Amino acid sequence: MQEFKPRKTLLGVLPDDDVLSQCIHCGMCLATCPTYDLTKLERSSPRGRIQLIKAVARGEMDLSKIFAEEMNFCLDCQACETACPAGVKYGLMVEAARVEVDNSDHISPVAKAIKKFALKVVVGSKRNLKIFSRLLYFYQNWGLKKILHTTGIINIFGKNLAEIDNLAPKVSRKFSDSFLPEHYQPKSETKYKTALLTGCLMNVMFADVNKDTHELLQKIGCKIYTPKDQVCCGSLHAHNGDFETAHKLAKQLIDVFSREEYDYLISNSAGCGAFMKEYAHIFKNDTQYAEHAKNLSSKVKDITEFLSEENPELIYKSVEQTATYHDACHLAHTQKIVNQPREVLNRVPGLKMIPLEESTWCCGSAGTYNIIQHETSMKILNRKMENIRNTGASTVITGNPGCIRQIEYGAERFNVRAEVVHPATLLNRIVKWKET
Amino acid sequence: MDSLVKAKIKNIVGNDSYFDSDEDRLCYSYDGTPLYHQLPDAVIFPKDDDQISQIVKLANSAGFNIVPRGAGTGLSGGSIPVENSIALVMTRWNHILEVDRNNLTAWVEPGVVTGILQKEVEKFGLFYPPDPGSLNVCTIGGNVANNAGGLRGLKYGVTKNYVMGIEMVLPNGDLLKTGGKNYKDVAGYNLRDFIVGSEGTLGIITKILLKIIPKPARTITMTAYFNKLVNSAQTVSDIIAAQITPSMMEFLDNTTINCIEDYTKIGLPRNAEAMLLIEVDGKGSAVDEDAAIVQSIFRKNNASNVRITSIESEGLILKTARRSAFSALARRSPTTILEDATVPRSELSVMMEKVTEAARKFDVVIGNFGHAGDGNLHPTCLTDERDIKEIDKAHRAFEFIFNQAIKLGGTITGEHGTGLAKKQFLESVAGIPGIEMMKKIKTSIDENNVINPGKIFSISPRCEGSLPHRQEQIKDFH
């Protein structure tokens, strides 16, 4: 093979060559990779992709169209990291490779512009996100969407757009930052001092989950700090290779959450929790932020992690319900939170938890994957829905907004009768207020 | 390979099953073996026996080589491409064709993943015992070609004990069918057993008939830790002398214990010098009696932290941890060279000492673990392929280990195969008449030496072209 110039930038994002060298190509990851399972091609496997990234980084291979396709074909679910006994940091490598791909000419200028606009202009600014979400809300609720779909006009823009439109989460009528108080102080004794991340998309699309989380914390006797001016945590940008914006947002968030004293920073979105736990590592050499970042990361807890570890006293209403639990990748594989949610749910009397086959297998949501790689995402979703159907459970519980919307959509599309809820929502319904 | 030949290959298997981009070639240039790699000229996924037959005939007439491949988890380089070769990948042949509950057999395609077959037959209360460490990934075809072993070899044997029939496309394109559902069959040469372990050098396996057995009713899993290596070896000897046959008797040294604990975080004691993982299974009270004797032997040999469980999920956590040993050792260093020197069981403690001696003598870090009950050790050198001096020391250490194993009446490989990695040592075990016989068989079946040439041994005078080189050899060459 001919020689190419080593991709310095790729190596620049990665800490050092050791990250690339750590994979011993034993193949233990193959069984857990949803894309390898679909194609049975080594290039669609973690092991194959690592070899490709290594070759491009070291200048042994050009950054080709196939390379670009493969990097974007990956779900970045990181199931391979859970399976890897050697502890290879696959996610780090593939995210670095995506930066290279985005900067290459294998991505069309239009696609680049749309992506940049969506991430930088829309999600990157809290004000803009709210304006766009409001517009989307009017579109979804004032009959325009219905007209476009029933008349078939939407199909003019391509069948995919119509499907994507159906897949988009419904914008909440009221955004959570408009009704959650910045400071909440329990009337009786303060059991825990907490802060709550309301997120960017969670705030506008899943305001009810934020409300449920807030209420649940109230019922436990938590003091809750919910800053109004909190921004996106930056995880969306980092996973899409825009580290500059990611780090800018992260610093803003650290500033906002360093203003008050609390012991736990509660997250109800798997991706956000995972990324905030990484702040300590990301800013470890930043003279200004290292200490604050470390401090913040150490306090971050997923709501189920918090409930499992602290085991606060809860009074349950009597229920009789069957449910099953789907592991969000960013909980199970990135944060290694697997047992905690199950423990919390198993404590609820009358809630019969039915184990889900392949519960840690990605549902195909994967950020914007279900839009960009729609067809593949639907194949993966189909597998998930069949496993859910086999449980016969009436409720699917999962701790990430992306998974909630994807599985809701899957229930309609593949005709599975089940309600999909966040653990905080389910618990808030079942847990009683304490008599005061 | 010229483009006309490539076009013919493509024509046989179809566009959707032919790949020759640089990316795909790179992704099939390696298997699980450290240090060896070479690019194939193309990668194909044939769809049926007939396509394979046509490809094989074309290889003979057009003069290219075929390297068969399953999941690519092998550890001796058996599926690494050679010069002027195509990789013939069988992973899409992944159907279990029949589970015969009257005869307790299963017909499978070679690309069926071992662990998936085990789960499927367990639904009928049946059991397929061979369990190589990579069982969730590796394929039955690869297991048969390499006569794979595993953790349960001690009581249940290895892959060869479960192969009842094979269908294989021969190097001349004919389809060979050998064996069948008969428990007894002595008609002619035993070709079936001869194909098992031939490392893909005699043809391309397309269908396999496996023996399955009833699943043992009860299993008790025990772990014990020792402050001295010699105590763990003595425990193994005592258990064998007590005429107990555990279904599993695994040994791990301190380095391995720590790497596994880093990965699994299941609370293994980090300061123990050795750990034994023992499983007894069977029916009724006999299992408890065996377990009680094993425990008394633990006590006699000063074992600490003894844990006993008959809960399947708890046992599985321990076994899964053990199966991750090889890869977990890569936490310490980027290159892990794993070998599988095997000695008669009575020599196990001597062999353990020799491994320690090798590490000291050649100044390398060696993690040691393995199937103690089989005398099959997996000394694993923790090194870095980017450091040629380190790699050289590792090779000298292994040469020492192999020589010591042979002196003790042992062998250079218990279950990984010879492939490329152990070719140079084969003569010392098989002897010249042995190797000559192998070569004669190979050349009589594969006249043009086109099926996985250069593996196990080299045929002279015909040159196989340049074989995959070890990294340092390439650098020396330049």
Give the mean pLDDT of A376-381: 96
**Taking Cα atoms as reference points, which of A395, A370, A391 lies closest to residue A380?**
A370
Measure CB to CB from residue A28 to each of B22, B26, B327 and give the nearest one: B327
Closest residue of chain B to A33, computed from CA coordinates: B137
| Pairs of CB atoms within 8 A across A/B | 103
CATH number of the domain where residue A87 is located: 1.10.1060.10
Q: Does residue A436 belong to any structural domain of this protein?
A: no
Say yes or no for a CB contact (<8 Å) between A31 and B137: yes
Per-residue pLDDT tens over the stretch A205-239: 999 999 999 999 999 999 999 999 999 999 988 88
Instruction: Scan residues 242-281 of B and list those with Cβ closer than 8 Å to A.
Output: 259-260, 262-263
Please name every residue paired with B207 in a beta bridge, in sequence order, or none if there are none.
Answer: B167
Say yes or no for a CB contact (<8 Å) between A42 and B23: no
Say yes or no for a CB contact (<8 Å) between B334 and A24: yes
| Interchain contact A65–B (C-beta under 8 A) | no
For an interface test with B, the pick among A17, A18, A26 (most B C-beta atoms closer than 10 Å) comes out as A26
A289 and A329: one domain?
no
- Report d(CA B378, CA A358) in Å as an integer: 32
Residue A156 confidence class, pLDDT cut points 50, 70, 90: low
Give the mean pLDDT of A119-142: 79
From A103, A122, A147, the end of a domain falls on A103
Q: What is the pLDDT of residue A254?
A: 96
CATH number of the domain where residue A241 is located: 3.40.50
Q: Does residue A1 belong to any structural domain of this protein?
A: no
- Report d(CA B225, CA B306) in Å as an integer: 7
Per-residue pLDDT tens over the stretch B45-59: 999 999 999 999 999
A28 interaction partners in chain B (CB closer than 8 Å): 73, 134, 136-137, 324, 327
B327 interaction partners in chain A (CB closer than 8 Å): 24, 26, 28, 84-86
Per-residue pLDDT tens over the stretch B113-143: 999 999 999 999 999 999 999 999 999 999 9
CA atoms within a 13 Å half-sphere pointing along the CA-CB vector of A154: 17
Alpha helices in A240-338 (DSSP H): 243-257, 270-282, 290-299, 303-310, 329
Closest residue of chain B to A48, computed from CA coordinates: B27
**Distance from A159 to chain B by nearest Cα, in Å?**
26
- Report d(CA B193, CA B209) in Å as an integer: 12
Closest residue of chain A to B77, computed from CA coordinates: A26
Per-residue pLDDT tens over the stretch B11-45: 999 999 999 999 999 999 999 999 899 999 999 99
Q: What is the pLDDT of residue A14?
A: 60
**Taking Cα atoms as reference points, which of A270, A269, A289 lies closest to residue A279?**
A289
Q: Which pairing describes strands B105-108 and B204-211: parallel, antiparallel, or unpaired?
A: antiparallel
- Report d(CA A115, CA A237) in Å as an integer: 10
Percentage of chain A lying above the pLDDT 90 cut:
65
The answer to whether the CB of B128 falls within 8 A of the CB of B118 is yes
CATH number of the domain where residue A398 is located: 3.40.50.11810
Q: What is the pLDDT of residue B477?
A: 39
| Interchain contact A42–B (C-beta under 8 A) | yes
| Interchain contact A97–B (C-beta under 8 A) | no
Say yes or no for a CB contact (<8 Å) between A24 and B262: no
Domains of chain B and CATH, by start? 96-214 (3.30.465.10), 218-407 (3.40.462.10)
A345 and A426: one domain?
yes
| Interchain contact B35–A (C-beta under 8 A) | no
pLDDT at residue B97 is higher than 60: yes
Measure CB to CB from residue B334 to each of A18, A40, A48 and give the nearest one: A18
A87 interaction partners in chain B (CB closer than 8 Å): 262-263, 330-331
pLDDT at residue A161 is higher than 70: no
**Distance from B269 to chain A by nearest Cα, in Å?**
18
Say yes or no for a CB contact (<8 Å) between A61 and B113: no
**Distance from B99 to chain A by nearest Cα, in Å?**
23
Closest residue of chain B to A36, computed from CA coordinates: B91
Give the mean pLDDT of A262-283: 95
Q: Does residue A292 belong to any structural domain of this protein?
A: yes
Q: Does residue A2 belong to any structural domain of this protein?
A: no
Q: How many residues does chain A have?
A: 436
- Report d(CA B79, CA B148) in Å as an integer: 14
**Distance from B167 to chain A by nearest Cα, in Å?**
23
The DSSP result for B88-157, as a single string, is EE-TT---EEEEETTTTEEEE-TTSBHHHHHHHHHTTTEE-----TTTTT-BHHHHHHHT---TTHHHH-
pLDDT at residue B478 is higher than 50: no
Q: Is A248 helix (H, G, I), strand (E, B) or coil?
A: helix
Q: What is the pLDDT of residue A236?
A: 86
Q: Which domain, by its residues, includes A145? A: 110-167
Say yes or no for a CB contact (<8 Å) between A61 and B336: no
A163 and A271: one domain?
no
Q: Does residue A315 belong to any structural domain of this protein?
A: yes
The distance from CA A55 to its chain's CA centroid, rounded to whole angstroms, is: 30
Measure CB to CB from residue A26 to each of B32, B262, B384 and give the nearest one: B32
| Interchain contact B2–A (C-beta under 8 A) | no
A139 and A162: one domain?
yes
A302 and A331: one domain?
no
A70 and A27: one domain?
yes
Say yes or no for a CB contact (<8 Å) between A41 and B19: yes
Q: What is the pLDDT of residue A1?
A: 45
Per-residue pLDDT tens over the stretch B363-419: 999 999 999 999 999 999 999 888 889 999 999 999 999 999 999 999 999 999 999
Per-residue pLDDT tens over the stretch B290-307: 999 999 999 999 999 999
Q: Does residue A374 belong to any structural domain of this protein?
A: yes
Please state, rounded to an integer, the average pLDDT across all residues of chain A.
89
A274 and A333: one domain?
no
- The alpha-carbon radius of gyration of chain A (Å, integer) is 22
Q: What's the longest Cα–Cα distance across chain A? A: 76
| Interchain contact B474–A (C-beta under 8 A) | no
pLDDT at residue A121 is higher than 80: no
Would you give the DSSP letter of residue A223?
A: E
Number of domains comprising chain A: 4
Measure CB to CB from residue B26 to each of A41, A52, A85 and give the nearest one: A52
- The alpha-carbon radius of gyration of chain B (Å, integer) is 22
A193 and A278: one domain?
yes
Measure CB to CB from residue B327 to each of A26, A40, A51 and give the nearest one: A26
A26 interaction partners in chain B (CB closer than 8 Å): 32, 73, 134, 326-327, 330
Please state, rounded to an integer, the average pLDDT across all residues of chain B.
93
- The neighbour count for residue A2, using CB atoms within 10 Å, is 7
Residue A8 confidence class, pLDDT cut points 50, 70, 90: low
Measure CB to CB from residue A43 to each of B24, B45, B94 and give the nearest one: B24
Say yes or no for a CB contact (<8 Å) between B334 and A22: yes
Q: Which amino acid is at A190?
A: T
The answer to whether the CB of A246 falls within 8 A of the CB of A237 is yes
Say yes or no for a CB contact (<8 Å) between B71 and A22: no
Torsion of CA A52, A56, A61, A63, to 10 degrees: 100
Q: What is the pLDDT of residue B22?
A: 96
Check whether the bond before B461 is cis (ω within 30° of 0): yes
Residue B84 confidence class, pLDDT cut points 50, 70, 90: very high
- Report d(CA B45, CA A137) in Å as an integer: 49
A230 and A244: one domain?
yes
Give helix A270-282 / helix A243-257 axis angle, nearest 10°.
Answer: 90
pLDDT at residue B343 is higher than 50: yes
Measure CB to CB from residue B23 to each of A25, A26, A52 and give the nearest one: A52
A27 interaction partners in chain B (CB closer than 8 Å): 31-32, 71-73, 134, 137-138
**Phi, psi angles (nearest 5°) of residue B23:** -65, -45
Q: Does residue A218 belong to any structural domain of this protein?
A: yes
| Interchain contact A55–B (C-beta under 8 A) | yes
Measured CA angle at B311 (ends B309, B314), to 5 deg: 80
A281 and A325: one domain?
no
**Phi, psi angles (nearest 5°) of residue B305:** 50, 40
The DSSP result for A52-110, as a single string, is HHHHHHTTSS---HHHHHHHHH-----HHHHH-TT---HHHHHHHHHHHHHHSTTS-HH
| Interchain contact B331–A (C-beta under 8 A) | yes
A301 and A392: one domain?
no
From A145, A167, A189, the end of a domain falls on A167
A66 interaction partners in chain B (CB closer than 8 Å): 21, 23-24
Q: What is the pLDDT of residue A167?
A: 76
**Distance from A112 to chain B by nearest Cα, in Å?**
24
Q: Does residue A205 belong to any structural domain of this protein?
A: yes
- Report d(CA B348, CA B354) in Å as an integer: 10
- Report d(CA A281, CA A334) in Å as an integer: 14
A138 and A186: one domain?
no
Per-residue pLDDT tens over the stretch B261-294: 999 999 999 999 999 999 999 998 999 999 999 9
Give the mean pLDDT of A241-264: 92
Give A87's contacts (C-beta < 8 A, 6+ positions apart). Answer: A22, B262, B263, B330, B331
Q: What is the pLDDT of residue B192?
A: 96
Tokens, residue A209: 């989950």
From A53, A75, A103, the end of a domain falls on A103
Measured CA angle at B36 (ends B32, B39), to 5 deg: 95
| Interchain contact A74–B (C-beta under 8 A) | no
